[in-house]
Amino acid sequence: MNGYSVVLTKVFVLSLNAILLLTSCTSLQQDVSIPVRQSENSADVIAIETRLAVLDAATFMPDDKTETADRNAACAVLIDDVDALLSAPEISKSVQARFWALKGRILLLSGKKSRARSCWNTASVLFGADPQTVILGARLGEPVDLDKQIAASDERALLLLERALRRYTAGQFSGAVADFDTAFMTLEPFYRTAYGGVRDRAWKFHTAIPAQEGKDASILQYQNITVSEMMLAAQQTSDILFNYTAGKNLSEKVLFNKLTGAGLVSPVSAAFSADTVLAADQKATRIICARFLWNLYIATKEDPASALRYSRIYRKTSGLQSPIPDIPLDSPDFDAAAGCVETELMDLPDGVHFFPDRCVDAVDFCRWLSYIKQPLR
């Protein structure tokens, strides 16, 4: 073989090696980054995500009645199904990453954080950019920049849904609704079915009170609030207590003591007595909310004596009966109930009765509070 032939042979070998290397790298790239939704395993992935979505969404609903044992049992079955899919031969690394991340999320729902983190480590090595891997990392407390991940991801809708849930939990309800609605536009319908209730609660909270810069509205998620939580909700969602707090965010205990001392939970239709003293952890029923709201409302008026105007009419005029059947004339909160209804701070749920002993959610209380137009300053 002459020198020219040797050179040609070397060039051919080098070119062949380069082509093989390029082909290998290209294959590896495709194995890792091909969208899971376009893989041959997409039906299996969707089946697992459908069941996970139902279990996960329930944890964001405070009225969820699922027992922990039932949820753990459902998670155990789901984990077995994921393990079976992971044992299948020749699945791509991107799909493996998705399954490991889903398994980690299921384990996290079961309270098994260390095992969930192990799954996250495996998924991160296989394909760290997978949205389910990112979501699992965020829920494990990893420093995940969701905004940055959303901008870079091919499956941004999943990450938008996670940001919606994060904003919902933080009380950023307007942003949560926007993210939910955008995500639902491109996600599979089962996501709307599973998380639609959370989205609707976010909308309800968003419309309950006007958004206020610097206000933490997360307390709106509280169900069956106590007296001290009622006060805390007033402090966190409005400026109505400015004269009492000087604009400071007081602790729940300090706030309760200050507002109780100011008489905001004292009845106006009867003399103060041991029977009308409220405890901080006592349920804030509709009649207690009426007492608090009526005292606040009267405090915004120039004539404090107007607080008793209903008693003056109904109690001193022979033959008159209470205009509200379940609030008797001799109730210590007669003026509060009648006043809140007449001024439209509160309503009669069935158009007739007040339902004084019915428990109250924070969102309903804050809606009533917002009807007191004049802040106390």
Mean pLDDT score, 308-327: 88
Backbone phi, then psi, for 283, in 5-degree steps? -65, 135
Cα distances (Å, whole numbers) of residue 72 to 101, 112, 199, 208, 358: 18, 10, 25, 35, 33
Q: Is 40 a residue whose pLDDT tops 90?
A: no
Write down the pLDDT at residue 173.
Answer: 87
Q: Give this prediction's pTM.
A: 0.67
Q: Is 288 a residue whose pLDDT tops 90?
A: yes
Tokens 């849904």 belong to which residue? 161
- Tens of pLDDT, residues 191-243: 999 999 999 988 888 876 655 545 666 788 788 999 999 999 999 888 899 99
Q: 144 is written with which tokens?
A: 């995940």
Backbone phi, then psi, for 316, in 5-degree steps? -105, 0
Q: How does DSSP classify residue 328?
A: -
Average model confidence (pLDDT) across the chain: 85
Write down the pLDDT at residue 39.
Answer: 65
Q: Which amino acid is at 29?
A: Q
- Tens of pLDDT, residues 106-126: 999 999 999 999 999 999 999
Confidence of residue 331 (pLDDT cuts 50, 70, 90): very high
3-state secondary structure 218-251: HHHHCCCCEHHHHHHHHHHHCCCCHHHHCCCCCC
